[in-house]
Structure 1
């Protein structure tokens, strides 16, 4: 309104918008708010006297069981939204406002604004939603309809914009809070006092993470509401539309959060690197993090015994693989207020093209373009051990060899017992056959153990420093993944990242926009790779071309972690 009274064009436009929307009161904005607010943002103050919170009336008699359940779910929506609004108000009133008004300054304005970025707009979005929710709750017994309200409130582009900005900035905000706690004792003491004074003892981090969790909570509540909405009910289709809108919104926010976390991981890794050359590579704009996970590195002795095992953080980037030690220690008083996050010490790094996947028992690495496939329930033969490929830890493999040796000996003994002329107690072919069956059962159990262990074992051959004569030297590392799906994902993405480094997959066709403000996407939208393919009808003829395609937009689907490949075959006449 100050700008409007001064006659500026910006103030006139905002006044027109306010009149069109019939906004009764526009609050004054502080000069510091201009740092974080967009020019199109309309700061509206909602009076709780004019717009009291939604209140569900007493339950009438004669309701069906589904109607009763729907009323309880509606009550949960009301309660959770009220609690969420209270949390947003606590952040702004108990944390941001005292920091802005503190004399002397506890935290500079340049740091306060990024920490609480977009929280005021999120509060406004949900204040408007609460007004509409109160109106709908008042007439619930007549309409029993809630889905269209969610569609109208959260399908607007403004909601996606403010939540996207908040999610993208969340990692940066937590980093600023962590640095301020370490460098400014007054700020750390301020956070401690605020937590101690609160009844629920919740920290600032616990309050600020709630916007990220809000839409998943909405989705769960609406899913329960839809389950208890009969077919033909007027609220069923609106609920389905609302779930579609919220799930789409949550998916977009999750993807943005994932990208922001990946960027933060690379930055955290870069800060822990002492090698200038490696640090320069990690700081490259074209460096992309494809996958990172905490894996267990295991070192085995000559007899297959485990010598040591330790957690490592493994980073798969678009052109290199990095393994780092994890140091999670931090000041306890700070870690209780905000997640410190691990610190890394790089153990080794290797160019991706020189990294090879080797299954246990293989003497040579997998072929360059080979694709890992799950072995399923296929068993290893126990009768022909020569030239056989065993997959599993060395110790289990050694146990299996010993059982196979014992089985062959018992089979020979059984044949010799069958040639005896006399009859002896407990020395006959029946006893020998029982021994053979028992050993065969143990062999099958050991084979299953080997296969299960192999499904979670990732064995990599990494290039090392050349020896004194200049010949290349490589070493082998063995990681245990959390699940078989995780191993499949690692192997597949390793191969796909190597395919993406080929000349035919380099994004040379992408150009920067003329204004030089639009950053071109680094990942290729499509990957191509030639693989041999046999025709089922003519197995003796090799088809000339089989191209493998991989689209980046399906990379992070759980289903495509197992089956991320798309094939297209050209048949020549």
Structure 2
């Protein structure tokens, strides 16, 4: 045993310098007992490893725990911080090992040695499944960590140790077994507590005698939390490791390895929990067909959560409310009642899963989300309560009753004022303060008050999910539906439900059933919802033109302030999509699409004098960038703009991102050389030309680009096809080489990325610490490190599927994109492949199996563009409207309460029993009537002073009663939007859009498909929507 440990320590000392693969091989060779053994049954599981009883509890005299030496003098700030983080790693690992040892020493061993038996060994083994093996893995890691810590001041290297320790298949195996068994282990503990009083007493005594009072469940959940803790520590270590440090690449590789391991374990935990929930639900379903469907594992559980079902009366009062467990499967929505969860003394020791009684179920396609103001579109058979409540005679009011009452009063008043306006127009006399202008201002003011009231009601419904569900037909056979009102814990929960319901319906469409084929598992299709979903495909240009070719596209994120709560949850990422095209002999054309809806909508077309080759979106400079650029305040005209590179050498700069786009500036290059690529940094615009030159334009006082500041950087004789901005440098491709240009000094460093001089770099995509590159020939893509410029990985995409049966020579990558943990690859054959890559700051290595979309273009994939936007933080806030008593999720009667008063406590729209008080000043943008023709209409005599007359007129101060914007065309809530918690509660919407000729549906096992769009001649967009990231 000592010999094995010496081998492990030797392997830890001899750190490798070539990254992940050599480190893994070195450790596996030098430490023979780490090599994976053949899989055995459960009965012989302990024989696969070293005698764990000896290794798990090492003699600390022979193998002392890691201990940092005193901090030497003269360390840099980074070195000091790195030592502190290392200390945190040591302490965290020591605490974790202590928890594992407590499970074995305080629970497992006493139970096995108890006389008389508390539990049989047959029941004990499954509860503590794989705990010993996990302890073994981390005991070995602690030995290696102690050796590395002892040499820290000389080596300052820790990343390769994590790679060597946690990249082994043994670690994944034992943790996977533990995670998959965790739910079963908790169920066994619960069952034993209920059937064996001695076992329950044993657990109580152990918890009472422990210093921290932690339960067995609290100890056993720690292995599930371990790798996320490691990831946070290594992220901190990487942030404080400067570029060029010997530990930087190993840390990035370690972060990648741990992220990959954590993702696999999280997915296995999700699947295990999903199976357990589905099985528990299936036991409560009386419908045999539905029960059979749940047990057949055909349906996939998308989302389940405990919500509060609320039943309202005619006047909006709460009749009753109760907890329900709602299950969203890929084809059915099920609501179940939650039964007693178990004795409290057991619940305090281990989570006790509830039992369910199914209340109702409905096919997913027949379930509709209904928001405020949409009730009028429903059928007359719709009613708004659950079974057990009497059907109201008329339309029911949901939510805060007073807000709805005030809205009805405002709508009534508007209709009256509109009639008054018509009558005022018939007056024979001319009066300053009573004329058509004043009356129209009243109407506009009331319209604005109605919109504010609707927004207040919608705010109150941010945690209220309203579903229209089909019910049983009535006696005459007419279809009847009923309204279910479910209160969610927070706005994020409602957003998630609305989004998942929307995507689950999309997943049932023919083009998504199936939508993807697993590239390395022959014939295996992927579950629809857990892949990118094809939301739609549509033509780009209104007129057909076979010569016109798509060249580029980009997304411009623009928040739509008037987009409703549910609409924001189901629409594509907000903003505009610019799609550019042109042929060798055609004029350039740009189509602008609005994305503030579930599918793009064409809103404008721009004609330019030459074919468009590239696009670049330049957002408005942030305050940080302005400070770095030495500008204290940006000019009033500064804002987001879009740069368009043309075939005739011009760069057009458009100054607006929406449909009112106007060209503000045109940049020329002396030779009129086509502009093939555009990229920007905070201070510069870079343009790659066909003659091998890169043009660099600076900003003019942080405003538009300055043509006079243009500088040229010669890169070679080949075209500069693609540019990539990374921190303080820009990568420019030229032929088979990349030139790294320092942004400040324009100094260059050139390195070769492909051995064939006839091959040129066509595409580059960056994520984390790596850059993926695709080439003009061949089916391989290569990954390079952004700092050392080393080649880290090479993938041949032609081997990913039998769909690619045209041979590797004709295979070519035509587009490349990284979005939401997937590397998207478009090919000349029109196929789209996705490969999983890490999302964090590590190295974006291909870490799993690829997928091939069964929806493809008929020609090359001309572009892949990611569209992402962040939902407005205002949508996520539960303000005074949502936080009022009426919106709470309790079960008490709240019929006489209100979530919020009107615009002001002194409003005339107050509850019954109160005086009228001071009314709301009805004013839109007419601040004074003194300038209007005619004489004032007043009961005072002519001797009234000017001041008394002014008191009857609208004043600017009086307008503050609304707390509205000065711009009459803008209506906002009284309180300004604060920038608090936006980052914590950020909700990201993402979609990927491809462009190419035609659309076809592939058949599994064949490269040919069915063309459905003009025999493949039309330019088509395909839009894949991804689930919201909440």
Say whether the fold is shared (TM-score over 0.5): yes
Name which of structure 1's ranges 404-413 and 123-132 shifts more when overlaid on structure 2.
404-413
Deviations 1:418-459 (A, max 9, x none): 9596999x9999997886676455323213224445665443
User: Equivalent residue of 1:57, what SS?
Assistant: coil
Higher CA-based Rg: 2
Contact 2:400 2:460 in 1 (8 A): no
Equivalence for 1:355 = 367
Equivalence for 1:537 = 542
1:488 Cα deviation after fit: 5.0
> 1:543-558 alignment to 2 at 5 Å?
none
Contact 1:136 1:146 in 2 (8 A): yes
What stretches of structure 2 of length at least 5 have no aligned partner? Answer: 2-27, 34-40, 380-396, 545-598, 601-830, 840-867, 870-986, 999-1012, 1018-1030
Contact 1:168 1:257 in 2 (8 A): yes
Bigger strand share? 2
**Shift in CA distance, 446/502, structure 1 to aligned 2, threshold 3 Å:** closer
1:117 Cα deviation after fit: 0.5
- The separation in 2 between residues aligned to 1:19 and 1:405, in whole angstroms, is 83
**Shift in CA distance, 449/392, structure 1 to aligned 2, threshold 3 Å:** farther
Equivalence for 2:192 = 180
Contact 1:313 1:324 in 2 (8 A): yes
What stretches of structure 1 of length at least 5 have no aligned partner? Answer: 2-17, 24-32, 367-390, 512-517, 540-545
Equivalence for 2:182 = 170
**Shift in CA distance, 286/408, structure 1 to aligned 2, threshold 3 Å:** closer
Contact 1:319 1:353 in 2 (8 A): yes
Contact 2:333 2:364 in 1 (8 A): yes
User: Equivalent residue of 1:117, what SS?
Assistant: coil
In the alignment, is residue 61 of structure 1 matched against residue 73 of structure 2?
Answer: yes
Pairs aligned (count): 511
Bigger helix share? 1
Equivalence for 2:107 = 95
**Shift in CA distance, 510/197, structure 1 to aligned 2, threshold 3 Å:** same
User: Equivalent residue of 2:119, what SS?
Assistant: coil
Equivalence for 2:803 = none
Deviations 1:174-207 (A, max 9, x none): 0100110011001001111111111111110010
User: Equivalent residue of 1:37, what SS?
Assistant: helix
**Shift in CA distance, 139/190, structure 1 to aligned 2, threshold 3 Å:** same
> 1:315-354 alignment to 2 at 5 Å?
315-327=327-339, 329-354=341-366
Contact 1:550 1:566 in 2 (8 A): no
1:285 Cα deviation after fit: 3.1
> 1:40-59 alignment to 2 at 5 Å?
40-44=48-52, 45-46=54-55, 47-48=58-59, 49-59=61-71
Name which of structure 1's ranges 412-421 and 229-238 shifts more when overlaid on structure 2.
412-421
TM-score (norm 2): 0.44
**Shift in CA distance, 276/392, structure 1 to aligned 2, threshold 3 Å:** closer
Contact 2:316 2:398 in 1 (8 A): no
Contact 2:516 2:525 in 1 (8 A): no
Equivalence for 1:192 = 204
In the alignment, is residue 478 of structure 1 matched against residue 482 of structure 2?
Answer: no
Contact 2:111 2:119 in 1 (8 A): yes
**Shift in CA distance, 144/392, structure 1 to aligned 2, threshold 3 Å:** farther
**Shift in CA distance, 353/361, structure 1 to aligned 2, threshold 3 Å:** same
1:266 to 248, 269, 278: 278
User: Equivalent residue of 2:334, what SS?
Assistant: strand
Contact 1:499 1:527 in 2 (8 A): no
- The separation in 1 between residues aligned to 2:532 and 2:215, in whole angstroms, is 46
- The separation in 2 between residues aligned to 1:352 and 1:121, in whole angstroms, is 44
Equivalence for 1:77 = 89
Equivalence for 2:740 = none
Cα RMSD after superposing both structures: 4.4
Contact 2:312 2:398 in 1 (8 A): no
Deviations 1:225-256 (A, max 9, x none): 11222222211221111111111111111111
Equivalence for 2:294 = 282
Contact 2:421 2:436 in 1 (8 A): yes
Deviations 1:75-109 (A, max 9, x none): 11111111111110110111111111112221122
In the alignment, is residue 35 of structure 1 matched against residue 39 of structure 2?
Answer: no
Deviations 1:350-403 (A, max 9, x none): 23344344444445579xxxxxxxxxxxxxxxxxxxxxxxx9969555533421
Equivalence for 1:523 = 527
- The separation in 1 between residues aligned to 2:89 and 2:179, in whole angstroms, is 23
- The separation in 1 between residues aligned to 2:398 and 2:995, in whole angstroms, is 34
1:160 to 157, 163, 172: 172
Equivalence for 1:15 = none
Contact 1:115 1:173 in 2 (8 A): yes
- The separation in 2 between residues aligned to 1:19 and 1:436, in whole angstroms, is 83
> 1:313-462 alignment to 2 at 5 Å?
313-327=325-339, 329-362=341-374, 363-364=376-377, 395=401, 396=403, 399-410=406-417, 419=427, 439-453=446-460, 456-462=463-469
Contact 1:150 1:242 in 2 (8 A): yes
1:62 Cα deviation after fit: 2.0
- The separation in 1 between residues aligned to 2:430 and 2:371, in whole angstroms, is 51
**Shift in CA distance, 66/533, structure 1 to aligned 2, threshold 3 Å:** closer
